[in-house]
């Protein structure tokens, strides 16, 4: 999306609808197409946008209940998000909470000056109100801390608080509007306008907001910069309201008009396609390769759309259209249950629709695959930062406890790993799943409250997964669509993690797989929009789009390694090395690659590694090469797998693998090598073999460091056991040959089986 | 000439030899007066009519003058407000221009970024061809 225009809707003569005789003070939507407006001519009008009629309500409408709420005028009133409580603020400076039936629950605050505007917090547990030039956030619990800060140089006239993005908007008589986070930190302050800001309103999805002033209507991005400005001849816009689907906007004007605006001219880009929403129900698809233009018409107005992985998904108020980029003529159409789709996420094989009622994963053939559910789900406040989709997994940040990430299988909708969610130590701000590779290696990247970037495995069996930190000061991130490459904006510079999983193998390798692009070409905090192919699209703080290209080699390497085409990979490496610039990173990613512990067959990888490492004289890499060679020389599959696990620091798994294969000596030896004496002895005693081996090694170790045995258990066993090195060596040799024999048998057996 | 006894008694004969109690002179004068009076009344009536017309005309004129005056005042006020209107319009247009300028600047930055990407890609292609 790059440009959005506000237009007066339903206006043949380009003039807004005149209906009230006096100024219109308030508007509000009930459904997507029904609006109420009230005016100082003592009338409430009901507008139906489909039939183009309006009804007078004041004369016939029955007033259910009328309550004397404040001394002086009531200036603001708002329902909470589930409609169970009403809050009112008045000229007498009091804020009162009312039940649904109109009973006074409590007087929350009282001050000397009028309260002009009030808003509920995202969970309806806090309220925000104006106090002269200040803004106050007050929790409903009486003991909790109140936040208060000076917001404007003039009276604050209007506030709004979005439940999805948790951002606060304020506008005042100093003719500025400002965006704040919920801690009262200023995120954006507009330049001074000509007239006071009289109204503000967040779109329900929290991506855009509208600002009203004298003869002015503005549409702005959540980061504050302005998409479009309209100068309707309406007088001051006193109230603005978005329809629930976030596509239509109504404004109450000082001259008695009610204006309707509609958001159009959104852009979507993917590879060589540019799609523009030209009218409410029309999209234009442009193929920039051959300048072919297709026009897509819809029966209802477009609410949300998404373009990725060769598919365009468009949600209108009643139906969902799925287009394939190869054929724009015949979309797949299916009906939607609820009209207000708030989010569309796409993966290669399917896409996810989020509406007020829940999440639904559909295949591109239009088949409902799954619908993940969890207790306390509030699908209406999910945003793109809190949900992530890959071909097999769905990750959702739990809104009730933001440290928790819920993981679901995309194909069944069931919770992964026995319903045990992933728990981080801090509040999680953003989650993203990688898009490629087998489902067992699915990784999830998350950014927490401290803006640290972590990586962990999404699918884990039994034990707690390791959550490894791979970056700090990361503002936003995105996975590549075709390879497991992660990019992020780190402290104003663009960082690409060519092989983030390297952190599981070796932390020291990670910095070598980084590609950092100088931040000087970007101005204020850019935000990543997409990372497709080798192109990263970023949106800068001032709203401009910038692109950055990432060298193509790593993605190719990923591709070769997943398809185990090591000879091609090697050729690519040679080619990249021979280049003049930007090749170091590629070489480094290879290094990490060759240590990828997952597939046991390492011949191709070690080939690549062997080619790479003789050249690089890095002290870091040499012992690793030796170890890789050592792994290659292991007599059996099991022990090389175990050593691979050891290599990536998963000692317990390595031990378990060996024990499972019945290689008890090898398991003991592993522990001896790690100086894990107690465990080695324990195992030796338990399996009644190699106690002398353990003791012998222990003695050797103690001698080397000139120490004496103090461990009681060792002393105890040392008494009964004679240490004879020759005997031990012979025993070890025997064990190894036994293992070799077994491995040979196994391979013969498997080859026989394969021949059959 | 001997006095007419009739005359003495106050009787006279007129030209038609009818007996009269008024002297012929007087009678003649009287009738003359009457004529003159009548004439006078006629003239006065005529005068009144003329004056009435005049008044009406003047009234109309006054009315017209009044409306013209109002028109002039209105026009003068309009003229005054046009300046203000223009100012407001100018302000509005300037706001719109500023908006467009910002958009232009955004496009310019985007273009620059894309040009850079293009040059990078060209460089890559060159390098690729050279290596082959």
Average confidence score pLDDT of chain A: 79
Domain containing B68 equals 3-126
Closest alpha carbon within chain B to A553? B124
Q: pTM, whole model, 2 decimals?
A: 0.75
DSSP assignment, residue A173? T
Q: Find the Cα–Cα–Cα–Cα dihedral A155, A158, A162, A167, rounded to 10°.
A: -20
Question: Rounded CA gap, B132 and A608, in Å?
Answer: 21
Q: What is the mean pLDDT of residues A362-374?
A: 90
Beta strand pairing call for A216-221 and A208-213: antiparallel
* Beta carbons of A162 and A133 less than 8 angstroms apart: no
Q: Which residue has the higher pLDDT, A750 or B127?
A: B127
With a pLDDT cut of 70, the percent of chain A lying above it is 80
- Total structural domains in chain B? 1
Residue B78 is assigned to a structural domain of this protein:
yes
Instruction: Flag if B96 and A231 touch (Cβ within 8 Å).
Output: yes
Q: What per-residue confidence (pLDDT) applies to B56? A: 96
Q: Which residue has the higher pLDDT, A22 or B56?
A: B56
What value of ipTM does the predicted structure carry? 0.74
Whether the per-residue pLDDT at A739 is higher than 70: the answer is yes
Q: What is the mean pLDDT of residues A580-608?
A: 46
Question: Rounded CA gap, A479 and A471, in Å?
Answer: 15
Q: Which residue has the higher pLDDT, A504 or B101?
A: B101
Instruction: Flag if B95 and A194 touch (Cβ within 8 Å).
Output: yes
Q: What per-residue confidence (pLDDT) applies to A574? A: 67
What is the band of A32 on the pLDDT scale with cuts at 50, 70, 90? low
Residue of A461, A454, A425 lying closest to A440 (CA atoms)? A461
Q: What per-residue confidence (pLDDT) applies to A103? A: 80
Q: Which residue has the higher pLDDT, A273 or A256?
A: A273
Residue B19 is assigned to a structural domain of this protein:
yes
CA distance B78 to chain A (A): 19
Q: What is the mean pLDDT of residues A84-102?
A: 84
Q: What per-residue confidence (pLDDT) applies to B41? A: 96
Residue of A452, A475, A447 lying closest to A540 (CA atoms)? A475
CA distance A658 to chain B (A): 48
Lowest mean pLDDT among A120-134, A349-363, A667-681, B73-87: A667-681
Question: Rounded CA gap, A344 and B90, in Å?
Answer: 42
Whether the per-residue pLDDT at A58 is higher than 50: the answer is no
- Count of H-run helices and E-run strands, chain A: 13, 52
* Beta carbons of A10 and A260 less than 8 angstroms apart: yes
Whether the per-residue pLDDT at A16 is higher than 50: the answer is no
Q: What per-residue confidence (pLDDT) applies to A89? A: 85
Question: Rounded CA gap, A53 and A671, in Å?
Answer: 82
Q: What is the mean pLDDT of residues A482-492?
A: 86
- Would you list which residues of chain B are within 8 Å, Cβ to Cβ, of chain A? 88, 91-92, 95-96, 99, 102-103, 105-110, 113-114, 116-117, 120-121, 124, 127, 131
Whether the per-residue pLDDT at A686 is higher than 70: the answer is yes
Residue B131 is assigned to a structural domain of this protein:
no
CA distance A592 to chain B (A): 24
pLDDT tens digits for A689-727? Answer: 777 788 888 888 888 888 877 887 777 877 777 777 788
Q: What is the mean pLDDT of residues A522-546?
A: 85
* Beta carbons of A77 and A117 less than 8 angstroms apart: no
CA distance A88 to chain B (A): 36
Residue B64 is assigned to a structural domain of this protein:
yes
Helix axes A664-673, A725-755, angle to 10 degrees: 120
CB atoms within 10 A of CB B88: 15
- Give the range with max mean pLDDT: A276-290, A544-558, A621-635, A718-732: A276-290
Residue A206: phi and psi, rounded to 5, are 75, 10
Whether the per-residue pLDDT at B34 is higher than 60: the answer is yes
Whether the per-residue pLDDT at A63 is higher than 60: the answer is no
Instruction: Flag if B96 and A3 touch (Cβ within 8 Å).
Output: no
Q: What is the mean pLDDT of residues A581-585?
A: 42
Q: What per-residue confidence (pLDDT) applies to A40? A: 66
Instruction: Flag if A544 and B95 touch (Cβ within 8 Å).
Output: no
Beta strand pairing call for A208-213 and A94-99: unpaired
Kindly state whether A518 is in contact with chain B, defined as any CB-CB distance less than 8 angstroms.
Answer: no
Q: What per-residue confidence (pLDDT) applies to A652? A: 77
* Beta carbons of A205 and A246 less than 8 angstroms apart: yes
Lowest mean pLDDT among A71-75, A196-200, A272-276: A71-75
Mutation target among A193, A217, A227, A229 for the B interface, most CBs of B within 10 A? A229
Whether the per-residue pLDDT at A18 is higher than 60: the answer is no
Q: Chain A residues with CB inside 8 Å of B116's CB?
A: 521, 547
* Beta carbons of A531 and A480 less than 8 angstroms apart: yes
Whether the per-residue pLDDT at B55 is higher than 80: the answer is yes
Closest alpha carbon within chain A to B114? A547
Instruction: Flag if A229 and B106 touch (Cβ within 8 Å).
Output: no
Q: What is the mean pLDDT of residues A611-633?
A: 55
Q: What per-residue confidence (pLDDT) applies to A438? A: 81
DSSP bridge pairs for A471: A453
Q: Chain A residues with CB inside 8 Å of B103's CB?
A: 3
CB burial readout A580-619, b (16+ within 10 A) else e: eebbebbbbbbbbbbbbbeeeebebbbebbebbbeeeeee
pLDDT tens digits for A202-211? Answer: 998 888 999 9
Q: What per-residue confidence (pLDDT) applies to A585? A: 44
Whether the per-residue pLDDT at A603 is higher than 50: the answer is no
pLDDT tens digits for A299-346? Answer: 988 999 999 999 999 999 889 999 999 989 889 999 988 778 889 999
Q: What is the mean pLDDT of residues A451-466?
A: 79
Residue B46 is assigned to a structural domain of this protein:
yes
Q: What is the mean pLDDT of residues A179-190?
A: 90
Tell me the residue length of chain B: 132
Q: What per-residue confidence (pLDDT) applies to A129? A: 92
Whether the per-residue pLDDT at A597 is higher than 60: the answer is no
Q: What per-residue confidence (pLDDT) applies to A454? A: 92
Structure tokens at A625: 């090469």
Q: What per-residue confidence (pLDDT) applies to A273? A: 92
Lowest mean pLDDT among A172-181, A271-280, A430-439, A640-649: A640-649
Nearest Cβ partner of B110 from A544, A551, A552?
A544
**DSSP calls for A651-717:** HHHHHHHHHHTT-HHHHHHHHHHTT-HHHHHHHHHHHTS-HHHHHHHHHHHHHHTT-----HHHHHH
Residue B92 is assigned to a structural domain of this protein:
yes
Q: What is the mean pLDDT of residues B34-41?
A: 96
């Amino acid at each position: 999306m790059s440009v959005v225009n506000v237009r007066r809707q339903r206006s043949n003569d380009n003039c807004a609808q005149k209906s009230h005789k006096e100024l219109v003070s308030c508007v509000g939507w009930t459904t997507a197409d029904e609006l109420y407006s009230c005016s100082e001519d003592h009338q409430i009008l009901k507008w139906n946008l489909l039939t183009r009629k309006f009804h007078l309500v004041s004369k016939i409408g029955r007033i259910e209940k009328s309550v004397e709420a404040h001394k002086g005028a009531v200036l603001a009133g708002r329902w909470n998000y589930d409609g169970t409580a009403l809050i009112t603020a008045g000229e007498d400076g009091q804020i009162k909470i009312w039940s649904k039936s109109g009973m006074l629950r409590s007087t929350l605050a009282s001050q000397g000056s009028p309260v002009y505007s009030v808003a509920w917090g995202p969970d309806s547990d806090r309220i925000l109100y104006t106090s002269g030039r200040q803004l106050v956030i007050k929790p409903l619990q009486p003991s909790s801390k109140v936040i208060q800060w000076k917001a404007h140089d003039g009276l604050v006239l209007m506030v709004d608080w979005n439940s999805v993005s948790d951002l606060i908007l304020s506008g005042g008589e100093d003719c500025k509007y400002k965006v704040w986070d919920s801690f009262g930190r200023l995120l954006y302050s507009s330049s001074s306008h000509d007239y006071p800001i009289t109204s503000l309103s967040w779109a329900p999805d929290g991506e855009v907001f509208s600002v009203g002033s004298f003869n002015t209507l503005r549409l702005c991005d959540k980061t504050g910069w302005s998409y479009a400005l309209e100068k309707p001849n309406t007088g001051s816009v006193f109230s603005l309201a978005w329809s629930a689907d976030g596509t239509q906007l109504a404004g109450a004007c000082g001259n008695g008009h009610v204006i309707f605006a509609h958001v159009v001219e959104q852009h979507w880009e993917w590879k060589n396609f540019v799609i523009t929403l030209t009218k409410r129900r029309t999209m234009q698809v442009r193929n920039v390769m051959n300048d072919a233009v297709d026009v897509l018409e819809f029966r209802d107005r477009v609410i949300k759309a998404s373009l990725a992985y060769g598919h365009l998904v468009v949600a209108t108020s009643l139906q969902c259209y799925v287009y394939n980029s190869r054929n724009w003529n015949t979309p797949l159409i299916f009906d939607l249950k609820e009209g207000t789709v708030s989010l569309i996420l796409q993966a290669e094989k399917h896409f996810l629709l989020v509406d007020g009622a829940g999440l639904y994963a559909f295949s591109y053939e239009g088949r409902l695959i799954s619908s993940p559910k969890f207790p306390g789900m509030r699908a209406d406040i999910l945003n793109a930062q809190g949900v992530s989709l890959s071909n097999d997994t769905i990750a959702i940040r739990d809104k009730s406890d933001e440290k928790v990430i819920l993981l679901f299988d995309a194909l069944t909708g069931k919770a992964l790993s026995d319903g045990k969610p992933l728990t981080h130590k801090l509040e999680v701000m953003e989650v993203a799943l990688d898009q490629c590779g087998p489902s067992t290696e699915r990784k999830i990247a998350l950014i927490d409250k401290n803006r640290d970037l972590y990586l962990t495995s999404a699918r884990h069996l039994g034990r707690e997964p390791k959550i490894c930190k791979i970056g700090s000061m990361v503002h936003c991130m995105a996975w590549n669509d075709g390879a497991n490459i992660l990019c992020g904006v780190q402290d104003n510079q663009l960082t690409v993690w060519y092989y983030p999983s390297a952190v599981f193998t070796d932390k020291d390798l990670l910095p070598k797989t980084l590609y950092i692009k100088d931040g000087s070409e970007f101005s204020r905090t850019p935000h990543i929009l997409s990372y497709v192919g080798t192109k990263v699209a970023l949106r800068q703080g001032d709203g401009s789009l910038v692109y950055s290209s990432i060298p193509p080699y790593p993605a190719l390497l990923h591709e070769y390694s997943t398809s185990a085409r090591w000879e091609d990979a090697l050729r690519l490496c040679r080619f990249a090395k021979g280049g003049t610039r930007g090749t170091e990173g590629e070489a480094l990613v290879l290094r990490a690659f060759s240590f990828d512990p997952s597939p046991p067959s390492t011949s191709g990888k070690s080939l690549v590694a062997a080619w790479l490492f003789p050249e690089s004289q890095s002290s870091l890499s040499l012992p690793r090469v030796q170890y890789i060679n050592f792994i290659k020389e292991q007599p059996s599959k099991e022990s090389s797998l175990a050593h691979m696990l050891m290599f990536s620091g998963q000692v317990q798994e390595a031990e378990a693998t060996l024990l499972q294969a019945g290689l008890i000596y090898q398991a003991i030896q592993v522990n001896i090598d790690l100086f894990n004496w107690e465990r080695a002895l324990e195992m030796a005693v338990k399996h009644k073999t190699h106690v002398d081996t353990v003791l012998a090694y222990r003695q050797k170790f103690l001698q080397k460091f000139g120490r004496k045995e103090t461990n009681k258990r060792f002393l105890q066993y040392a008494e009964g056991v004679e240490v004879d090195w020759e005997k031990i060596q012979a025993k070890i040799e025997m064990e190894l040959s036994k293992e070799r024999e077994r491995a040979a048998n196994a391979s013969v057996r498997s080859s026989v089986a394969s021949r059959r | 000439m001997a006095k007419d006894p009739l005359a003495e008694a106050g009787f006279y004969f007129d030209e038609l030899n009818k007996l009269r109690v008024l002297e012929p002179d007087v009678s003649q004068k009287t009738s003359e007066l009457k004529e003159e009076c009548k004439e006078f009344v006629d003239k006065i009536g005529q005068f009144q009519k003329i004056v009435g017309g005049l008044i009406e005309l003047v009234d109309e004129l006054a009315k017209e003058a009044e409306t013209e005056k109002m028109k002039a005042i209105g026009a003068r006020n309009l003229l005054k407000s046009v300046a203000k209107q223009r100012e407001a319009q100018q302000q509005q247009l300037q706001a719109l221009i500023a908006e467009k300028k910002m958009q232009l600047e955004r496009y310019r930055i985007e273009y620059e970024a894309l040009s850079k990407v293009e040059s990078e890609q060209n460089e890559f292609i060159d390098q690729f061809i050279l290596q082959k």
